[in-house]
Structure 1
Amino acid sequence: MMQPQLAILVIEDELQIRRFLRTSLVSHGYRVLETGTGQEGVEQAAQLQPACVILDLGLPDLDGLEVLRRIRNWSTVPVVILTARGQEQDKIALLDAGADDYLTKPFGVGELLARIRVALRRTASTAVGEAPVVSFGDIQVDLVRRTVMRNGVDVHLTPIEYRLLVTLVRNLGRVVTQRQLLHDVWGPEYADAAHYVRIYMQHLRHKLEADPSRPRYLITEPGVGYRLRDEG
């Protein structure tokens, strides 16, 4: 029995880009819903309940950030942003408003498809409950026993290092802003202590990465935050 096609809602006002996305997504087995306005995008997201939303920021009626906020008022559907805005503060605002990921134009279809797959896997794992053991490469994190192993050997982490890693694990594949990491790991009173994140991320890399100077998993998103790379 064939699996039903997952529906992707594209909210993009540029017809050429919309056609490109439609062709690319359909050729990879997705069903595409599309609109060129923010208001209609919000309505379609509510009525059609897509598996994922691809949202452009430069819409004619509503700013994409406002569209994202309206969707987040009632839905946790994965939202991947397309943006021509390269400013770090714009990216941080998007992630803080609930975006799952973003791509800066111009972008490659392979990268877009990878971001969609990560968002869909995360949604699926949330739907069935959090996995007690999360693996990436040669690292295993047991969220029940609160243990970390590398190549089958226990890795000792301090309480702060462990909380930092778990925050990234719970957002596997997704960019986590410095602000969110500081809030979740140290508390809201540490909102301006960005150096804490840098220091402890270096500690984690030395304990978990084969080459800390060229990390494979604990990836820096310059000026924005960090991402635990999902290679699944």
Structure 2
Amino acid sequence: MKVLLIEDDDAIAGPLVDGLARYRMSVHRVSTGAAGLAELTTRHAEMVLLDLGLPDMDGIEVCRRLRRTDDTPLIMLTARGDEDDRVRGLELGADDYLAKPFSVRELVARMRAVGRRQANIERAATRVVRLGPLEIDRRTREARLHGVVLPLAPKEYDLLLRLAADPGTVVRRRDIMESVWTPHVFRRGKTLDFHVAALRRKLGDAAWIENRRGVGFRLVVPQA
């Protein structure tokens, strides 16, 4: 796995690079948010490890800018205990977070879990899914409604693709969390509901996504 590590602390970055190398991972490390964003425009990475406490800009802002153009799997590394910061990062498109201090073994397990979820999402549907006027192309990671591309954030697209994998069927909240996010993150909070609401707005009609209270959601074509 090719990994981009955005971490300014040498005492953390050095052992981390060496530890991941033992798991046959190739790690390129930069120490600022600006350098990390620049690297992703020229260098392919299969995973990004992002420290939230960077010297030039907040890691949350790095995540925000990255997700405007890139959907590389991303894990936040943070010493912060504030749940709001973690949830903000996850809502912006981070795939998981890991609080410092942590072991390399735990980090590798999280990275592999994120990789498996991404693979499951990609296998969940054929290349193009069509549901009435809605078309989802997993090759380009684009969704079109009446031929117009929807401006979906990465997690909004993943959520839509998960629901479209079996349209008309209620998908349990837990199943959505496990396939789109990390399940341990969302024991509290309204992140899933936040993304459903945002997706409904972009679809232009809340009837696209039905809520079965206490159970889950299903994707349906609204009745004319």
Flag structure 2 segments of 5+ consecutive residues without an equivalent. 127-164, 199-212, 217-224
Residues 96-142 of structure 1: CA deviation (Å, up to 9, x unaligned):
1111100111112111111110112223334x43169xxxxxxxxxx
| Structure 2 residue aligned with 1:80 | 75
Deviation at 1:184, TM superposition (A): 5.3
User: Is 1:124 paired with 2:119?
Assistant: yes
| Structure 1 residue aligned with 2:27 | 32
For 1:54 and 1:8, how far apart are their aligned partners in 2?
7
Describe the shift of the 1:99–1:184 C-alpha distance in structure 2 as closer, same or farther (beyond 3 A): closer
For 1:45 and 1:72, how far apart are their aligned partners in 2?
11
Q: Over the residues paired in the alignment, what is the CA RMSD in angstroms? A: 3.0
Deviation at 1:172, TM superposition (A): 5.5
| Structure 2 residue aligned with 1:178 | 189
| Structure 2 residue aligned with 1:167 | 176
**1:125–1:131 Cα contact (<8 Å) kept:** no
Partner AA of 2:189 in structure 1: Q
For 1:93 and 1:180, how far apart are their aligned partners in 2?
9
SS at 1:29 equivalent: coil
Flag structure 1 segments of 5+ consecutive residues without an equivalent. 1-5, 133-142, 148-158, 189-198, 205-232
What is the TM-score of this pair, normalised by structure 1?
A: 0.62
Partner AA of 2:190 in structure 1: R
Number of aligned residue pairs: give it. Answer: 165
Describe the shift of the 1:184–1:102 C-alpha distance in structure 2 as closer, same or farther (beyond 3 A): closer
Describe the shift of the 1:111–1:131 C-alpha distance in structure 2 as closer, same or farther (beyond 3 A): farther
| Runs of 4 or more above 4 Å deviation | none
Residues 152-188 of structure 1: CA deviation (Å, up to 9, x unaligned):
xxxxxxx5xx442442243264534732322456x47
**1:81–1:99 Cα contact (<8 Å) kept:** yes
Residues 62-119 of structure 1: CA deviation (Å, up to 9, x unaligned):
1111111111011110110110111111111111111110011111211111111011
